[in-house]
Chain A
Amino acid sequence: MGVVASGTKLVPTPYMVAVMMRDFAFGGVYDDAFSGTILTHLLASMQRVYGGFLLAAAIGIPLGLLIGKVAFVRALLDPTLSLLRPIPVTAWLPLSMVFFGLGPRSAVFLVFLGAFYPILLNTVFGVRSVDGKLFEAAAMLGCDGSRMFRQVVMPASLPAIFNGLRLGHGFAWILIVVGEMTGVPTGLGSVIMDGRTLSRPDLVITGMVVIGVAGFACDRLIVVLNNYVLRWSPQHRG
């Protein structure tokens, strides 16, 4: 009420955001610390997003295949993973700062955690829901052991794995902001945080828009890859 009465504008006009966006991209308007720095921040964020995301995929997919297919591995790891899963990733923030210090590595860790579970769980689900007849068909054609894994389990789980990758990728972009809000000098999350500290809502919204566009564009890339790899399965086209 007081804010409204005093006439302070907390929400900037679209024009103000557009000007900010231009300055952020090319400079020449405000010429301050944020002018023309879009690439620095975008690349820093993307590095962390894809560092964490690829790490999550590199660990989550093989682990998911093993948990789904090998009863022993499932018995060994499932209790621990199931206990850790309900903990929100953001709750790991303080601990990750203890582990990795204030800085980008802590952000990468959060991204990794956020992307890891959707990838892992979807992979496990994919393996467990392969039609048993396909294993029988492969076995009678002389396929067994590790060849069965490579030639049947993996391709048959691909639709679910891609589902997990897409979900995990979305979470990765969410968590990068949380990860970069604490003591990281670069990155789109830190831009938003700085905008808040400096009371520059146009900067905050600019950061949001850039994250939205970048996340969307990267998601489309995954969909294109998905559609190519799963061209045999019309119901899994995005």
Chain B
Amino acid sequence: MADRRPFLHVRDVGKTFQIGSERVDALHHVDLTIDKGEFVCLIGASGCGKSTLLRIIAGFETPSYGDVRVYDAPITGPGSDRGMVFQDYALFPWMTVRNNIAFGPRQKSLSSAEIRSSTEKYLEMVGLAKFADRYPYQLSGGMKQRVAIARVLANEAGILLMDEPFGALDALTREQLQDELLEIWARTQVTILFVTHSVEEATLLADRVVVMTAGPGRIESDNRVSLTRPRDVSAPDFNAVRRNLTEKLTSHVSRRRLKSVA
């Protein structure tokens, strides 16, 4: 029987920061529900609070009001059910690739055989079995990000929170990792919340694209992308979706610009 409670539920979340004497409304009454297994992209201009929202869901920051729930249980802090993939990887530099991936399993009381088998499984899945004994400094950016993804998967995180994970990579590596991520998503059926500011990346990856706007940060629109997979970035219908999303993203920005000129 399907669980009727929302899987991930952001309930009326707000966050204000105090910067000097100024109060900044980073998030303003944000509501969002995500189903199990969905791939949702958050896009928006810098300062729209998309990273803040992700960090609140991860439990790294507490909301000023509202709460985030997983199957109705409020989030109180970082937890192994939600794994974050950072833009700058945040791998443990003193650990080999294998030990980075084994870090999560080692925190649980698993037998060493269980730890080994899950580590090897995800090493294999991200195609780094040959590099298992290297240290992070010996890896390229793309390989580091694969380790970071394997690290949260090996921890059996049901929700993958990705904060512009491919932003620092070159275009070729980025495309490759996007394909690999989609493959991993299909195989593991994890739920993915993916922050990006590339409309094309969002259109390529997501079931739903949530557009956010700044000042104060809030959700402007929630768009279902019903293109069939695998998607072709050069197809006309792909272009139509991308144009539509770009308009939603920029209309608000240009309106604000006009207002400030007037």
Contact = CB atoms under 8 A, between A and B. Distances in A.
Given A143-B103, A232-B94, A232-B95, A137 B137 contact: no
Interface of A: 131, 133-134, 136-143, 147, 151-152, 155-156, 158, 231-234
Contacts of B84: 136-137, 140
A136 B93 contact: no
Determine which residue in A137, A141, A147, A152 has the highest number of CB atoms from chain B within 10 A of its CB, and name it.
A141
Interface stretch (B12-20, B72-80, B198-206, B210-218): B72-80
B78 A133 contact: no
B141 interface: no
- Considering residues B80, B90, B137, which has the most beta carbons from chain A within 10 angstroms of its beta carbon? B90
Contacts of B94: 155-156, 158, 232-233
B59 interface: yes
Contacts of B79: 140, 142
Nearest to B77: A139
Size bracket, chain B contacts? 20 to 34
B136 to A, nearest CB: 8
A147 B260 CA distance: 52
A27 B79 CA distance: 70
Contact of A136 (B78, B92, B104, B137): B78
A133 B88 contact: yes
Contacts of A136: 58, 60, 78, 84, 90
B90 A142 contact: no
A133 B90 contact: yes
B135 interface: yes
A151 B95 CA distance: 10
Contact of B58 (A140, A143, A233): A140
Contacts of B157: 140
Contacts of A141: 80, 83, 103-104, 107, 151-152, 155
A142 B86 contact: no
Contact of A134 (B58, B60, B90, B155): B90
Nearest to A235: B137
Q: Which 3 pairs show the lowest CB-CB distances between chains A and B?
A: A142-B107, A139-B78, A141-B104
B208 interface: no
B111 to A, nearest CB: 16
Nearest to B161: A140
B108 interface: yes
A186 B211 CA distance: 78
B95 A138 contact: no
A152 B93 CA distance: 10
A142 B60 contact: no
A144 to B, nearest CB: 8
B137 A147 contact: no
B50 interface: no
User: Looking at B78, B104, B155, which has the most chain A CB atoms within 10 Å of its CB?
Assistant: B78
Contacts of B151: 137, 141
Q: Which of A140, A156, A158 has the most CB of B within 10 A?
A: A140
B92 A137 contact: yes
A155 B103 CA distance: 14
Contacts of A151: 103
Contacts of A133: 86, 88, 90
Nearest to B96: A232
B82 interface: yes
Contact of A131 (B80, B83, B90, B155): B90
Interface in B39-95: 58-60, 77-80, 82-84, 86, 88, 90-95
Nearest to B85: A137
A232 B103 contact: no
A91 B58 CA distance: 53
A141 B84 CA distance: 9
